[in-house]
């Protein structure tokens, strides 16, 4: 073994020790800091999938913009869907700091190498679904993202702080819509109940598999990429949402939802993990439609990228005119 090799091994060990010390001290890891390759890859995986979820997540709600029942509701929904697009953009930018380009991430999404949140593969069948998405889907997203505000990677953490502020408005508008429906006519109440029944289980699936089956949790918790486990976050969501269902006066979507005095939490029934597996592997009700729409929108936007490339080439003929 050569002297140089010994030195570089020592150097690597020292860098790793410094990295781990920073994590232990709750310091953020920044793009210019040294980081283990596996930390970088795991972050690219999670953050890019998070970005894709925000962008694909615009589709189920976008479906109802032209059919909103009032100008007020339309303005709210438009603003919300635009916010989700913005969240996707912060997250793509934050992920780019790890050394991957936007076009590589988009390609991974479109070729199914990268996932996006399973929930967005379910259809929005009625106007009440828009309430359920805001209340339950954004509600679940916030529980997860509040925890991610403390993630160890600086750009991700800062993106989460900003995104959470907007998500809480999203959750509130969804709950207010559900409240109006649930307190409205018998037919409206039935629509609200149906939306709750259909979105409840997919919302619980947003937190991922049980901790015992989660491939990435142990390492992600060690590196403080994730700060709370899938099951702990899911329980938090259940505990905060059941009293909201009671206020709405709707029936529980799961007959096993019962307060457990001893645990200090609600008990709940088991998720259909076979359905979850099918949906994350591309076989949910809308997987095909969601990707097809994304690919078409991306292709339709090619003229914008082409114009940016032409403009750049004019400004700096010698510059790399690659546009993501």
Closest residue to ligand FAQ: CB criterion: 57
Taking the complex as a whole, the smallest distance from the CB of residue 272 to ligand FAQ amounts, in Å, to 13
Taking the complex as a whole, the smallest distance from the CB of residue 141 to ligand FAQ amounts, in Å, to 4
User: Residue 150 is encoded by which pair of tokens?
Assistant: 């403390």
- Residue 54: count of CB within 10 angstroms of its CB: 23
Q: 279-314: string of b/e by CB count within 10 Å (b at 16+)?
A: bbeeebebbeebbebbeeeeeeeeeeeeeeeeeeee
With CB under 6 A as the contact rule, which of the stretches 94-102, 209-217, 292-300, 312-320 interacts with ligand FAQ? 209-217
Residue 257's alpha-carbon distances to 15, 201, 235, 268, in angstroms, are 48, 12, 11, 4
Closer to ligand FAQ by CB, 244 or 321: give it: 244
Which residue's structure tokens are 């390609």?
Answer: 107
Taking the complex as a whole, the smallest distance from the CB of residue 3 to ligand FAQ amounts, in Å, to 40
Q: Binders of ligand FAQ: how many residues, by CB under 6 A?
A: 29
Closer to ligand FAQ by CB, 210 or 305: give it: 210
Specify whether the backbone of 264 is left (phi greater than 0), alpha (psi in -120 to 50) or beta.
left
- Residue 317: count of CB within 10 angstroms of its CB: 8
Name which of residues 32 to 91 contact ligand FAQ (CB under 6 A): 45-46, 49-50, 53-54, 57, 84
Considering the rule CB under 6 A, would residue 152 count as an interface residue with ligand FAQ?
Answer: no
The C-alpha atoms of residue 206 and residue 309 are separated, in whole angstroms, by 38
Closer to ligand FAQ by CB, 115 or 265: give it: 115
Name which of residues 88 to 117 contact ligand FAQ (CB under 6 A): 115, 117
Q: Are 121 and 184 in contact (CB under 8 A)?
A: no
Considering the rule CB under 6 A, would residue 121 count as an interface residue with ligand FAQ?
Answer: no
Instruction: Give me the phi and psi of 266, to 5 degrees please.
Output: -80, 135
Q: Which of 15, 172, 189, 216 binds ligand FAQ (CB under 6 A)?
A: 216
Which H or E run includes 166? Answer: helix 154-182
The C-alpha atoms of residue 139 and residue 132 are separated, in whole angstroms, by 10
Q: Which of 230, 235, 241, 287 binds ligand FAQ (CB under 6 A)?
A: 230
List contacts with ligand FAQ (CB under 6 A): 45-46, 49-50, 53-54, 57, 84, 115, 117-118, 133, 137-138, 141, 144, 205-209, 214-217, 220, 226, 230, 280
């Amino acid at each position: 073994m050569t002297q140089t090799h010994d030195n570089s091994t020592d150097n690597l060990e020292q860098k790793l020790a410094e990295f781990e010390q920073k994590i232990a001290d709750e310091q953020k890891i920044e793009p210019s800091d040294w980081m283990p390759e596996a930390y970088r890859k795991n972050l690219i995986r999670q953050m890019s999938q998070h970005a894709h979820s925000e962008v694909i997540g615009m589709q189920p709600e976008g479906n109802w913009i032209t059919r909103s029942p009032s100008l007020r509701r339309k303005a709210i929904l438009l603003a919300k869907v635009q916010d989700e697009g913005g969240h996707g953009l912060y997250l793509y930018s934050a992920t780019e700091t790890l050394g991957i380009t936007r076009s590589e991430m988009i390609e991974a999404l479109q070729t199914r190498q990268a996932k996006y949140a399973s929930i967005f593969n379910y259809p929005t069948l009625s106007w009440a679904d828009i309430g359920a998405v805001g209340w339950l889907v954004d509600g679940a997203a916030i529980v997860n993202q509040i925890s991610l505000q403390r993630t160890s990677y600086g750009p991700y953490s800062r993106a989460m702080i900003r995104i959470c502020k907007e998500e809480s408005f999203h959750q509130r508008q969804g709950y207010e819509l559900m409240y109006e429906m649930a307190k409205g006519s018998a037919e409206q109440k039935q629509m609200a109940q149906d939306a709750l029944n259909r979105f409840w289980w997919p919302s619980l699936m947003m937190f991922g598999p049980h901790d015992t089956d989660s491939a990435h949790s142990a390492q992600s918790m060690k590196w403080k990429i994730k700060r709370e486990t899938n099951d702990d976050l899911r329980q938090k969501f259940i505990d905060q949402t059941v009293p909201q269902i009671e206020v709405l006066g709707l029936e529980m979507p799961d007959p096993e939802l019962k307060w457990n005095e001893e645990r200090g939490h609600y008990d709940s029934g088991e998720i259909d993990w076979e359905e979850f597996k099918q949906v994350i592997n591309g076989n949910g009700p809308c997987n095909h439609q969601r990707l097809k729409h994304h690919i078409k929108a991306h292709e339709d936007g090619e003229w914008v990228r082409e114009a940016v490339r032409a403009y750049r080439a004019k400004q700096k003929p010698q510059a790399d005119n690659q546009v993501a």
